[in-house]
Amino acid sequence: MKKTILSGSTVTGDLTIGNYIGAINNWKKLQEDYDCLYFLADLHALTVFQDPQVLRDRTYSFFAQYLALGLDPEKNIIFAQSHVHEHAELMWILTCLTPMGFLNRMTQFKEKAEKHVKNVNSGLFTYPVLMAADILLYQADLVPVGEDQRQHLELTRDIVGFFEHRYGAGVFKLPDAHVGKQGARVMSLQDPEKKMSKSDDNDKNFVSIIDDAKKIEKKIKSATTDSGSEITFDLENKPGLSNLMTIYSVFSGKSIQALEAEYAGKMYGHLKVDLADLVVEHLRPVRERYVELMKNRDYLDELLKKGAARAQVRARGTLDQVYKTVGLVRS
């Protein structure tokens, strides 16, 4: 039997080429060899205030982007998190097992609390438990994660330990990380010391996969580079250039060594122009398919409904077992 992989993305901001390179591009490859579930994490989005209409629109937008990027709704189970109520139900049970001290250690909580000082809510503190419920509900073997999410996966494994210590083993699988080998970390275009983020307030820091050609060209051509003129990959001394070369390598399929040879004697500007053209052409069919999908929300609703129904069959099986184990009476 195929191993199960589960991943999702919070429906905030805009999906970027960083999300594409670090996650979604790998998801397309995984769908051939694994049993894959991908969800739109709309419940997670609520830890920060969301305009209701914007949240609805963005959920459709993210789903359309998943499809436009090549995720097959027949080969994968793709659904909205809020459409499967078992996520919230399992979270409550796991919350009752998770020590506050473990949640206090979560670095992302500290970072988000500093950023959203006027809305440090309970959900912001406990959302790693919802992440654990997302994973454990579907008995996931593997979870594609970046380095910044490893701490949450480790907490999920700890929560399995808390559950087994109290109720015994056999209910949950212990998930492992699945990290893509290439392009797992794409950095900000203007600040290559930090990761490219879809929730960045400065849209010059990222390229959205649905940006038009002019925006893509402008953002890449204005990306921060480094002193010197030699085009060489050097993360320590040339983080800006190295970031652009990473993006170039993934989109072109060429190795870093091949790019260094190709641009020997050329200037940074030459690489930027070529990279902008490459990204524009690579994303052109994605944007065209996205625009087409967004014009037909009835079709998107139909696919979301089918995806949620398929996901709920699995989620219900796990939750029934959990309820029985902890002593809850099923209706």
Task: Give the catalytic positions in this structure.
Answer: 112, 195, 198
Output the DSSP codes for 38-81. EEEEHHHHTTS---HHHHHHHHHHHHHHHHHTT--TTTEEEEEG
- Give the SS3 label for residue 8: strand
Q: Which residues contact 174 (CB under 8 A, 6 or more apart)?
A: 157, 160
Strands 176-178 and 35-41, how do they pair? unpaired
- Say how far residue 274 (Cα) sits from the centre of its chain: 27
CA atoms of 56 and 304, how far apart (whole Å): 13
Q: Are 16 and 195 in contact (CB under 8 A)?
A: no
CA atoms of 331 and 260, how far apart (whole Å): 65
Output the DSSP codes for 109-152. HHHHHHHTTT---HHHHHHHHHHHHHHHTTT-SEEE--GGGHHH
